[in-house]
Structure 1
Amino acid sequence: MPLRTATLPPGEPDPALVEKLAVVQQVCLGIVALIALTVFSSWIYPPFATYLPAFATRMSIPMALTVLLCALSLAISEPGNHLSLPRAARYIAAQAGILAVLILLESTFRLFPAVDTLLEADRAPGNTGGLPVHSPTAFVLLSLAMMLVNSSGAFLKRVADGLVPLMCLMTLVLLSENMFGAVGLLRLSADNMISPLILTCLVLLTWVVAMRQAAQGVWSIFVGAGIGSRIARGFAPVLLVIPFLIEVARTRFLLKDLVPEQYGAAILTSLAAGLSMVLLLVLVWRINSMEKEIHDLTLRDELTGLYNMRGFYLLGEQTLRLAQRAELPFSVLFIDLDGLKKINDDLGHNMGSSYLAETGEVVMACFRETDVKGRFGGDEFVVAGQFSMVGIELAASRLKSMAEQRNAAVTRKYPLSLSVGYVTLDHPSTESLKELVRRADEAMYREKRSKKVARA
């Protein structure tokens, strides 16, 4: 788990993720603007349209203007941008909404034949029905959402929190309806389908509005730094896609008569149950892995990767009980990094930290994975495990030899010097781990004093 996000409250948006989404939003707005400008260019200069595929001109000029106004409003209202103009953005969004209302009224009542001719381009290929009213309705709702997004008032924020998901739902309905109609699913005709260009712009603009609102509203769970937010981001796409896949499979089975209807329903129901179980297993696995990361953060020393005092005693007590139950020898080894204060005073605390980290590496290399290795803060390290007296003596000797090898390999002002003390329980005893650590600490200080006497 990244340390950068681990310090953020779970409900707060992740700044790094929000920054990445801002780039995606700019790309989406750029695509929408390019589509609208292409439609304008083909209208102003008709020969230009001959170089474009047929679907690239399936948007009316009024709708292209609506789309362009929406993109412009979102572009100049981006939070954190020094060019942000929220009032102007709301005004432009209102103009887009008014234009969408006029298009909706004309599509419904067909008052002006000349305007109807312009709106014919909003049909999808093969649409022989009336002028589509879903797209202008969607853009009316979109313009309202755009005016409320990034609002400062508490009431308006709550309204936006309700309006944005409604907008997303409507866009999802239109997208699925047109996709199912395009492939002939559920025996839908092409009548009343909207232009692919309009649908593309609507999806992209809705995405941008949803991301803007998610950065500050109740939907911020999707961009948060906490475990729940990361799980939501991972499973939301899957949960959105599965119902559509099941519906496609169901209708295809029934339409093609591959299996009898009752068997097809049973098979798909079983598959849905199986997918739910798989999702549950993945969810539990993900939560457990994150819980382990949190567990490590609370029990481990950040500098060395060894257990901190709490982690050492938690696991060391278990190891001691196992050794006592199996009547095996158990040893505790206490290590002190010599001269850390002098290193900090002379070379700085960063160099002192590097000495501590190197000592942690030596401890990790000298002992088994099953041994409990910890740092008690400052310059003290401790190891507990199932060692006999001979085994712990060899381990202490190996520890000092490795420190000497590192000193020989690198020239430095202060050598890596360790004072070591250890105790062993090779007979049944009721001593606690804390008592063994205390006795090992005393043995370490006896060695440290003997070093000082020898130097004197």
Structure 2
Amino acid sequence: MKTADSIAPSTSQLDTAFLKRFAVVQNACMTFAALIAVAILLAWLFKDLRAGYPGGWYLMKFDTATGMLLSAVSLALLSVDSSPARGWGGRAAAFLVLLLAVVALYEHASGRLTGFDTLIVTDTTSDEPGLMSVQTAVYLLLMALSLLVATVPHRLSGTTVVVLSVLLALHALIIFSGYCFGAVQLFGQNLSTRTAPHTLACMMLLAVALIGWRTQRGYFPALAGAGLGSRLARKVLPFALLLPFVLMLGSTLVASAGWLSPPVAVGLTVAVMAAALGALVSLMGRRINTLEKHLRELSLTDELTGVLNHRGFELLGEQAFREAQRSQVALTLLVFNVEGVKEISETYGQAAGSQLIQDMARMLRESFEPADIVARTESDEFTVITKDENTRGVIALMRIGEAMEALNAAGCPYKARFSVGEATSSPDSSDSFRDLVERAIFVRRERRRVERVFSNEPEREVSGAKPSFNEQ
């Protein structure tokens, strides 16, 4: 049978490691919620067990405990990809939860007890025997609808489940707030008909389990994604949820102790909360900027050599060219080609060819100034952009030649060599950056062609020789 999960968003971009950890949390939450509900049900069914229970256990009514247990069972059955029988069992449990919620809400709305709440056990602890609070009934209603709608094979059902899950979590947080700040209206109608602390615990656990289930199916990608934003959101979310409660609880305790008047405590709390949220936003911005910087560096850097790649060369080279034209200074562009890389890789292995490329990148970085632009623009081609200072350029080429000779003398089975072409921009010229690159490539190719014509053994070419910096 096709369900809403079959049309869920793709999980290909989700963080699988996080989902595995979240699955463990989800199962633990369902188990603990079920254990709490079973413990309360046993107390209602067997009077002899009640002596060992803490006071107030009876505030979780029999129907409430049944609803929580059925919710956990339904969630466990529906969240497992298994036989159709489990699917129907999960739906049946969800329908029973829906029935319990609807009956309780009807009794509150009409003011008349139906007797359904005491059908199995009697309740002598309340003026309204067996009746759960409105807040608990609303929670069970949202839970039942979330579970049932998730099995509907319609595209809109996925969005509906997400909305219901968020409302469920919000409802549990509102009840939690009522307990934190003594607002009885938020968690019950009176002292005997209210959402008990252990009921609230089941609510929180099941809400986490429900969201975990939907996350496993590809929903809530902002939290479960593998991207940088999702990882940052997972780190910030706990602070964003806990910070208001911690600050307001601190304010309440300070005011209750008489250290500060309530208005002063509230004012200070609001100011501290604003400062804390501002600091949190600032830290997020800083973290995002750092991640963006790292991402930019990765996109502009050649993985093998650590120098700029072709994209980085185009971006920074164009920028350097425009600044040189604006400042009326000349710019020299050199194109280096490492000769025979393909033959070396075929003869001595791919690792040998890669090592030669890495050695060339290292020699270029060490020979030129840190401010100069060094890039690997093709598999065996490097490009350097430097200011037009002839002495510095000649010295750099001498260093490269010496480094290449030292490399060949180190006992390598092959002889490393390179060819080079250069072009110098003119502040008064209308040439573009692309024109400068093409001129340098042309010079290198022409120089290499002439050398091949006049050399009987071109393979022995030692291009560590210092080519002229003058434009050819």
User: TM-score under structure 1 normalisation?
Assistant: 0.74
Aligned position for 1:421:
420
Which whole-Å CA distance do the structure 2 matches of 1:33 and 1:400 have between them? 76
CA contact (8 A) 1:150 1:212 kept: no
Q: 1:131 to 1:321 in 2, by over 3 A?
A: closer
Aligned position for 1:308:
309
Could you list the per-position Cα deviations for residues 154-197 of structure 1 after superposition, in whole angstroms to 9, with x for gaps in the alignment? 233343233222212211111221233399x9xx9966553333
Aligned position for 2:437:
437
Which whole-Å CA distance do the structure 2 matches of 1:202 and 1:294 have between them? 41
Q: How does 1:238-387 map to 2 (within 5 A)?
A: 238-259=239-260, 263-322=264-323, 330-346=331-347, 352=353, 355-357=356-358, 359-364=360-365, 366-386=367-387
Q: 1:75 to 1:264 in 2, by over 3 A?
A: closer
Aligned position for 2:14:
14
Aligned position for 2:468:
none
Which whole-Å CA distance do the structure 2 matches of 1:443 and 1:134 have between them? 81
1:144 aligns with 2:149: no
SS of match in other structure, 2:78:
coil
CA contact (8 A) 2:104 2:132 kept: no
Which whole-Å CA distance do the structure 1 matches of 2:316 and 2:422 have between them? 18
Deviation at 1:289, TM superposition (A): 3.4
Which whole-Å CA distance do the structure 2 matches of 1:56 and 1:377 have between them? 74
CA contact (8 A) 2:425 2:436 kept: no
Could you list the per-position Cα deviations for residues 264-297 of structure 1 after superposition, in whole angstroms to 9, with x for gaps in the alignment? 4544444344344334433433443344345335
Deviation at 1:142, TM superposition (A): 0.8
CA contact (8 A) 1:387 1:424 kept: no
Aligned position for 2:74:
73
SS of match in other structure, 1:205:
helix
Aligned position for 2:394:
393
Aligned position for 1:206:
207
Q: Which amino acid aligns with 1:223?
A: A
Q: Which amino acid aligns with 2:420?
A: G
Could you list the per-position Cα deviations for residues 222-268 of structure 1 after superposition, in whole angstroms to 9, with x for gaps in the alignment? 33345654554454444433443453354445444444555545444
Could you list the per-position Cα deviations for residues 64-123 of structure 1 after superposition, in whole angstroms to 9, with x for gaps in the alignment? 4433332222223226x456843332222223333455566789755659669766899x
Which whole-Å CA distance do the structure 2 matches of 1:175 and 1:232 have between them? 23
Larger radius of gyration: 2
CA contact (8 A) 1:157 1:217 kept: no
Equivalences, count: 438
1:453 aligns with 2:454: no
Which whole-Å CA distance do the structure 2 matches of 1:181 and 1:368 have between them? 68
Q: 1:141 to 1:255 in 2, by over 3 A?
A: same
Q: 1:341 to 1:22 in 2, by over 3 A?
A: same
Aligned position for 1:126:
none
1:86 aligns with 2:87: yes
Moved more, 419-428 or 198-207: 419-428
Deviation at 1:42, TM superposition (A): 6.7
SS of match in other structure, 1:307:
coil
Moved more, 291-300 or 157-166: 291-300
Q: 1:455 to 1:368 in 2, by over 3 A?
A: closer
CA contact (8 A) 2:338 2:419 kept: no
SS of match in other structure, 2:394:
helix
1:31 aligns with 2:36: no
Could you list the per-position Cα deviations for residues 305-348 of structure 1 after superposition, in whole angstroms to 9, with x for gaps in the alignment? 43233321321233345556667674333222222222454566
Aligned position for 2:172:
171
Deviation at 1:220, TM superposition (A): 3.5
Which whole-Å CA distance do the structure 1 matches of 2:295 and 2:122 have between them? 60
CA contact (8 A) 1:13 1:215 kept: no
Q: 1:42 to 1:407 in 2, by over 3 A?
A: farther
Q: Which amino acid aligns with 1:69?
A: L
SS of match in other structure, 1:376:
strand
Could you list the per-position Cα deviations for residues 331-368 of structure 1 after superposition, in whole angstroms to 9, with x for gaps in the alignment? 33322222222245456667655654554455445544
Deviation at 1:380, TM superposition (A): 0.9
CA contact (8 A) 1:76 1:89 kept: yes
Which whole-Å CA distance do the structure 2 matches of 1:327 and 1:421 have between them? 26
Which consecutive unaligned segments of at least 5 residues does structure 1 have? 1-8, 123-128
Which whole-Å CA distance do the structure 1 matches of 2:289 and 2:402 have between them? 40
Q: 1:49 to 1:255 in 2, by over 3 A?
A: closer
Which whole-Å CA distance do the structure 1 matches of 2:260 and 2:336 have between them? 72
User: TM-score under structure 2 normalisation?
Assistant: 0.72
Which whole-Å CA distance do the structure 1 matches of 2:251 and 2:243 have between them? 12
Q: 1:18 to 1:399 in 2, by over 3 A?
A: farther
Q: 1:26 to 1:121 in 2, by over 3 A?
A: farther
Aligned position for 1:180:
181
Could you list the per-position Cα deviations for residues 414-438 of structure 1 after superposition, in whole angstroms to 9, with x for gaps in the alignment? 55x2414254759866465444434
SS of match in other structure, 2:308:
coil
Which whole-Å CA distance do the structure 2 matches of 1:317 and 1:202 have between them? 60
SS of match in other structure, 2:378:
coil
1:157 aligns with 2:137: no
CA contact (8 A) 2:422 2:441 kept: no
SS of match in other structure, 2:374:
strand
Aligned position for 1:5:
none
Q: Which amino acid aligns with 1:419?
A: F
Q: Which amino acid aligns with 1:421?
A: V
CA RMSD of aligned residues (A): 4.7
SS of match in other structure, 1:332:
strand
Moved more, 254-263 or 167-176: 254-263
Which whole-Å CA distance do the structure 2 matches of 1:341 and 1:364 have between them? 23
Which whole-Å CA distance do the structure 2 matches of 1:442 and 1:171 have between them? 72
CA contact (8 A) 1:100 1:136 kept: yes
CA contact (8 A) 2:64 2:132 kept: no
Q: Which amino acid aligns with 1:209?
A: L
Which whole-Å CA distance do the structure 2 matches of 1:189 and 1:358 have between them? 79
Moved more, 425-434 or 193-202: 425-434
